[in-house]
Structure 1
Amino acid sequence: MDVALVPVTLVSAFALRYGMPNPTPVVLNEIPLVVLVTILSGAIIIAMGLPRIKLQSLEVQAVARIALTAAILSVTAIVASYLIASGEPRSVPLIFGALFFGMSLGTRLIAIAILDKLRERGTTRLPVAIYGAGSTGVQLAAALRNSREARAVVFVDDNPSYDGLMVAGLPVKSPGVLRSMADQGRIKRVLLALPSVTSTRKNEILRRLSDLPCEVQMLPSHGELLERGTIEENLRTVTPDELLGRNKVDLNVPDVAKAYAGRCVLVSGAGGSIGSELCRQLLDCQPRKIILFDHSEFALYSIERELRAMLPDNGIELHAQLGSVIDKDGAARVLRHNKVEIVLHAAAYKHVPLVEDNEVAGARNNVLGTQCMAEAACDAGVERFILVSTDKAVRPTNIMGATKRLAELVVQDMQTRRPNTKLAMVRFGNVLGSSGSVLPLFQSQIEIGGPVTVTHSDVTRFFMTIPEAARLVLLAGAYAEGG
């Protein structure tokens, strides 16, 4: 864009200097100068980084860079006119530089205004007023320009010398306008950007704003920021949901809650990442009783303690049972004693490299463990048995996938022989953040400074979150017809 402005502003400079609305006759005599200045100016503009100036952050430094570039272009035009012995008036390069600065800055400001208008169309960003037109308020307004939730529409300040000024592209008005703007719906929130005022003064302002028909929020003071520690102490880990690159899938189907309401549900592998999330989501389904079944004492203790803190006051019973899925008699005792109606079998060894190196243990837990749990469930008269499987069971290329495929065949075969219990399975893809997935591995690799390893440079992974995976199991338990 800036390179295209060079011939335009140069021709306009000739028009202004000669007072001619159509300077074509003059420009035709100066074609070599126009071509040379355009070529040299293009190189200068690129070297000065004008194309890299971001429209959303046109600040003093960017304006200064445009001004410096314009000055250099003026000098370049003067030097070029001497080199080719041009007969142009020496004022033309100066006019050219001034016009270039004005048009380069003006086009950017117009583009910013157009982009802002386009961004506002069809959006529901909350209009807010910023109380305080000082440096903190200006920084807040700049931050809100890129916000998806709110947009600043006006500054208000008690200082009468600010009244009527434009600060950071927004008008500054007295606090008295807040009432009418809020009544008219032109503002929905007031943000206090006064971190340095005394608490007495702050309380006075808050009392004055308390009767406004809109929300009032306050930025923390400098002292409060210091009390909260450094920025590093307040940083949080990115959640798996934020890495999806898509919206979370809404699987809140009313039939899911109905299928588990008032029932006794056993979750095997309850201490694992999928099993524990199943237990959390089961609480919302209002079952009569939840049996947590796991062979890991610490994992079972952790999930039981967490769930007891989440238990609603509606009489849901919670029992933790230590046991192994390959102990058929032990599992049968638990199922009969608690009169379990639904089994969600999430217990499995699923870490591919570990199962590859420990194939006997993997097969024993994943295949025989599923067989023992399914037979115990059928013997105990369980209504539904849902196996949590994996997409690696499809044409398996590793031992873990093969063991899960065998577990699926066990469930399918048992359904043909034990029709009183509905046995089914549900397959997952990559569950983001689950134990053994790539996310914890990537996090640990990044923490130690890398390198971050991937299976293959061209690999494409499709992820779901742990809550989505758990909800999928509950859906399968609600709708499965067996097989």
Structure 2
Amino acid sequence: MKMLVSLRNRWLVIAHDMAWIPLAIWMAFWLRFNMDVVPSVYLEPLHLLIAVSVPLQFVVFWYFGLYRGIWRFASIPDLLRIIQAVAVGSLLSFTVMFVLQRLEGIPRSVLILYPVILAMGLASPRLFYRWVKDRHIDLKAASGKRALVIGAGQAGELLVRDLLKSGPYSTVGFLDDADRRQGQEIHGVRVIGSLADLEKTVARHCVEVVLLAVPSASHQTIQSIVQRCQQMQVACRILPSVAELADGRVEVSRLRSVQIEDLLGRDTVELDYAGIHQLIAGETVLVTGAGGSIGSELCRQILHQKPSRLLLLDHGEFNLYTIDQQLRSTGEEQGVAVSAILGDIRDQTRMRWVFESFRPDIVFNAAAYKHVPLVEENPVEGIKTNVLGTCQLADLAVAYGVKKFVQISTDKAVNPTNVMGASKRTAEIYCQNLNRREDPTAFITTRFGNVLGSAGSVVPLFRKQIEAGGPITVTHPDITRYFMTIPEAVSLILQAGSMGKGGEIFVLDMGEPVKIVDLAEQMIRLTGLEPGRDIEISFTGLRPGEKLYEELFHGSEPLTTTMHPKIMLSGSREVDWQAMQQGLHALRDACEMRDVSLLHRQLRQLVPEFVSGVIQDGDN
């Protein structure tokens, strides 16, 4: 039905344009003769010019795409197309008339008047139709919520343009800190002040919602605006960040509520994309744990650097299927072979087959059990993946000539108080010392804190608890954690991988730690509720193995700067390789016997700074 309507409308537009051709020719003659009757001697040339112009102009109009546009959205480009089509069509028509009868009976003024009248006749109805529609929408939007737009740049202009088309807000004005924009009008909407005038403008114009249209705004700016809006009890909505607006489309539908990631994330990190591209382009890259939060984002960003093949390895069928479906079509478009491999890094036979079959050049090991309480309750399984699986993967990387092996670690590996942290620290030590022994493979470790929105993090948990009406559960009023966004963490992992020569532990700059109770309060306020009144915060006590605060480096690991301001280099610790092998063998025996007490003792030998909590009698 829609297709029939579209075809009907197109033919109506064609009929309109064709009717204007004889009308424009007649009006040109009529004006030439001072708006009097056209003398009979000129009628034959007039009729011949109409007969020639109608088919020629139709072909030219079609060629120039006059019927691809929609009158509702007529714009300057449409006007330019009309002028070009009329000019070319008129030139062809007069050329044919010259060949046929040397332009006898065609006054010279008609050569000018006809194309001018025709262009005006075609353009005016289109522009008038758009004006009527816009006027109708303006009147309709006037009944919507009164909105104040922050940012009169390109994003603000596109947003207001879309608001004028589709609502649902009535825009009262812009606020922008640029002096040159003060007093200017964009689509009839005036820039009425700067950000310092927010409270005054909201009160004066009875603003009901603030629309933040500055995708490049710093997180400090966003946080300030949101806090001021909360104090005034005015809703605040935001356009996605520059990274999220990769397609460049700015529309009303993309406005969303402010999220905690907008407030806690950091400013855009500058990367050495040439170095990252040089690391990955044309190589076979294996990502383990490809279906996880970090692993899946790694795969997305690696794919953009055009490796020859991207290997997605995960033991979870659904997660692997999901990331494979997301990337396979993009890989085909970019000429990158994407292979999804079901497998567990603990399975030696399967892993050897992967290395033998695909011969990866670079390995990013994101496979790990990372949830502290779960690993504390199931320490054997945590050790088998985080330590034994990683060490086995590292040995295979050496055996099959992998160029670089990037081990993804955690801040919980520093002075660990839980099995998860101790297991990751053991893997760090193994990779560092294996690097000293084996020349072909460069082993690089990256260490960072919590990532916002990852599986098992507090942000998704708090969202669910708020949706359920509370309470939000926080373990301790003074507990703090470092946070960064998943894309930022992965970008820095790739940057560290390109910088590393082998044996380094790169520590990612996590900024300032955040109190979890403050995070909970911010998330409650973002939903328009009040902590303690609408949603309670309940303190449950520290869980086994949990620390009040995390550290990014050990006291005996002095940090030094690198060429990248967001990446620091931690000193490494050399160990006796024979003792390391014996400790791993004992750890493997403890896992086979499922002897948790022995497992903790062996971990403390491998990681002397490990302070274990309560020793459990068995492993689930």
- TM-score, scaled relative to structure 1: 0.54
SS at match of 2:444: strand
1:315 corresponding residue in structure 2? 335
2:346 corresponding residue in structure 1? 326
SS at match of 1:311: helix
2:402 corresponding residue in structure 1? 382
2:496 corresponding residue in structure 1? 476
2:459 corresponding residue in structure 1? 439
2:384 corresponding residue in structure 1? 364
Partner of residue 299 from structure 1, selected from 319, 324, 329: 319
SS at match of 2:300: helix
Residue 410 of structure 1 deviates from its aligned partner by: 1.1
1:203-214 mapped onto 2 (5 Å cutoff)? none
Partner of residue 187 from structure 2, selected from 186, 189, 194: 189
Question: Is contact 2:285-2:362 (8 Å) kept?
Answer: yes
Say if 2:484 is the partner of 1:459. no
Partner of residue 394 from structure 1, selected from 408, 411, 414: 414
2:281 corresponding residue in structure 1? 261
Residue 339 of structure 1 deviates from its aligned partner by: 1.9
Distance 1:276 1:370, change over 3 A: same
Say if 2:292 is the partner of 1:272. yes
Residue 242 of structure 1 deviates from its aligned partner by: 1.5
**CA deviation string 1:267-301 (max 9, x = no partner):** 00001111010000011101000001111111111
Question: Is contact 2:277-2:305 (8 Å) kept?
Answer: yes
Partner of residue 144 from structure 1, selected from 144, 148, 163: 148
Question: Is contact 1:431-1:469 (8 Å) kept?
Answer: yes
Distance 1:411 1:234, change over 3 A: closer
Question: Is contact 2:452-2:486 (8 Å) kept?
Answer: yes
Distance 1:425 1:186, change over 3 A: same
**CA deviation string 1:146-170 (max 9, x = no partner):** 56655999xxxxxxxxxxxxx9999
2:522 corresponding residue in structure 1? none
Residue 337 of structure 1 deviates from its aligned partner by: 1.4
Say if 2:310 is the partner of 1:290. yes
Distance 1:345 1:450, change over 3 A: same
> What is the CA–CA distance in structure 1 between the aligned matches of 2:139 and 2:255, rounded to whole Å?
27
Distance 1:371 1:458, change over 3 A: same
> What is the CA–CA distance in structure 2 between the aligned matches of 1:478 and 1:470, rounded to whole Å?
12
Question: Is contact 1:327-1:372 (8 Å) kept?
Answer: no
Q: Which moved more, 1:246-255 or 1:287-296?
A: 246-255
**CA deviation string 1:217-262 (max 9, x = no partner):** xxxxxxxxxxxxxxxx999675553232543434363211121000
Distance 1:475 1:187, change over 3 A: same
Alignment: residue pair count: 285
Question: Is contact 1:389-1:425 (8 Å) kept?
Answer: yes
1:19-418 mapped onto 2 (5 Å cutoff)? 136-137=141-142, 142-144=146-148, 150=156, 186-189=184-187, 239=259, 241-244=261-264, 246-251=266-271, 253-311=273-331, 313-418=333-438
> What is the CA–CA distance in structure 2 between the aligned matches of 1:169 and 1:466, rounded to whole Å?
37
> What is the CA–CA distance in structure 2 between the aligned matches of 1:430 and 1:148, rounded to whole Å?
35
Question: Is contact 1:240-1:465 (8 Å) kept?
Answer: no
> What is the CA–CA distance in structure 2 between the aligned matches of 1:186 and 1:307, rounded to whole Å?
45
AA aligned opposite 1:417? R
AA aligned opposite 1:433? G
Question: 5+ unaligned residues in a row in structure 1: which ranges?
Answer: 1-129, 154-166, 171-184, 192-232
Distance 1:257 1:134, change over 3 A: same
Question: Is contact 1:240-1:433 (8 Å) kept?
Answer: no
Question: Is contact 1:366-1:403 (8 Å) kept?
Answer: yes
Distance 1:146 1:322, change over 3 A: closer
AA aligned opposite 1:189? H
> What is the CA–CA distance in structure 1 between the aligned matches of 2:277 and 2:260, rounded to whole Å?
25
Residue 311 of structure 1 deviates from its aligned partner by: 2.5
AA aligned opposite 2:147? A
1:163 corresponding residue in structure 2? none
- TM-score, scaled relative to structure 2: 0.43
Residue 189 of structure 1 deviates from its aligned partner by: 3.0
Residue 145 of structure 1 deviates from its aligned partner by: 5.9
Question: Is contact 1:328-1:376 (8 Å) kept?
Answer: no
> What is the CA–CA distance in structure 2 between the aligned matches of 1:375 and 1:269, rounded to whole Å?
18
RMSD: 3.1
> What is the CA–CA distance in structure 2 between the aligned matches of 1:362 and 1:424, rounded to whole Å?
22
AA aligned opposite 1:415? N
Distance 1:253 1:323, change over 3 A: same
SS at match of 2:369: coil
Distance 1:138 1:245, change over 3 A: farther
Distance 1:245 1:337, change over 3 A: closer
**Identity over aligned pairs, percent:** 47
Residue 139 of structure 1 deviates from its aligned partner by: 6.1
Question: Is contact 1:131-1:190 (8 Å) kept?
Answer: no
> What is the CA–CA distance in structure 2 between the aligned matches of 1:324 and 1:190, rounded to whole Å?
61
AA aligned opposite 2:187? R
> What is the CA–CA distance in structure 2 between the aligned matches of 1:479 and 1:169, rounded to whole Å?
50
1:8 corresponding residue in structure 2? none
SS at match of 2:481: coil
Residue 401 of structure 1 deviates from its aligned partner by: 0.5
Residue 457 of structure 1 deviates from its aligned partner by: 1.5
